[in-house]
Chains A and B, each alone.
Chain A
Amino acid sequence: MTSSLANEQNQYDEWLKNKPREIILSPKTVSKECLVNSLNGPLFLVNSLNFLEITNFDILTKIDSKISQLNNLTNLVLEGNKLKSIPGT
């Protein structure tokens, strides 16, 4: 991981620890690598989250099932990614 990417990741992780109510992620605001790392765990620990927007990532085809832990979510936007459906688990 490059130093700039490491810095970005650290800043992002610190921000998540503040339990924000809104998270908006797009290629304009965060790198793909940072997004992938976030979706592997830390994001879904922010159970204070009301608004989550992840848009226009062509690499985004998977989100962890832990999204169901965000039980205070009122607005979810996953527009413009590469998501596909699967049979029920």
Chain B
Amino acid sequence: MNYIFLDELGNLTKLKYLNISRNEIDSLPDLLFEKLICLQTLNVEQNKLKTLPNMSKLACLISLKCGSNELNQFPNSLCEKIRELGGSPVPIFEGGTVHLSEFNASHNKIQTLPGIIERLVALKSLDLSFNQIETIPVQLANCAKLKELNLKHNPIKDRRLYKMIEQCAPKKVLDYLRTNLPTKNNTDNKGEDEELSDFRKKTDDQDKFTVRLQFNSEDKFVVLVSKLIADQRKIAACIIHQMDLSNGKMLKKFLAIQTSNG
């Protein structure tokens, strides 16, 4: 049986475009991508790959297509070497495959996505449909340029998120994830989490469909919902008791919070 010497391809240091799709390749040499520093487009679709070699040195990579293989892990090497430069008011990232704009790994066996996917700051198109992903890391919402997102046909546990995904609503999906992003002020967030946890402990067995509006300070309005409501569709109507909206500022905030986050 004859084979292509794939590791010899690793010496083609001027290569910008490599397409070895639609073959029967079941593995790639570990060091294949060590020297391909000019590579911009890589297509390994429709093979039998279970893993991908380290791609952290593909500094020029813009498009990666590895769909229709047998990958059982997200290729973390894409993100690991990307670092945020400090000292800038606007986040700037460098290293690794920071320029990756298009990534298609559909029709594989990927089960988890890492939170460090947020380092792929140039990502515009992401297709992970037809995998085995159960949860989506909220950090995906930090990929600010992401416009095309396909996560369909994954066993997503969050029913609300699952429906948004199946409805092909990338913006809604990212907005939903964004609402669950941890805030930078960890103390405040920790307080809210504890408050929500306490609230849910009291309500899960008693008033199953409960919404509480809590005004913590002049500038902070907190909405606490029981778990069952969080998993339901949007609330169509809600009767609020013991709420003093005579203060104009409070009324304004109350109306604003109804329209935030869709």
Contacts and interface: CB of A to CB of B under 8 A. Distances in A.
Interface string B82-111: 000000000000000000000000000000
A33 B135 CA distance: 52
Interface string B19-34: 1111111111111000
B1 A84 contact: yes
A71 to B, nearest CB: 7
A18 interface: no
Nearest to B10: A68
A76 B87 CA distance: 41
A76 B17 contact: yes
Interface in B1-19: 1-9, 11-19
B9 A67 contact: yes
B23 A63 contact: no
Q: How large is the interface on A (under 10, 10 to 19, 20 to 34, 35 or more residues)?
A: 20 to 34
What is the interface of chain B mostly: helix, strand, loop, or mixed?
Answer: loop
Interface residues of B, number: 32
B19 A62 contact: no
A86 B19 contact: no
Contacts, number: 97
A73 to B, nearest CB: 5
Nearest to B3: A86
Contacts of A22: none
Contacts of B18: 76
Contacts of A74: 14-17, 38
B99 to A, nearest CB: 17
A3 interface: no
A72 B11 CA distance: 11
Interface of A: 61-65, 67-68, 70-89
Given A74-B17, A76-B18, A82-B24, 12 more contacts: A61-B2, A71-B11, A73-B15, A74-B16, A75-B15, A75-B16, A76-B9, A78-B20, A79-B20, A81-B22, A85-B3, A85-B26
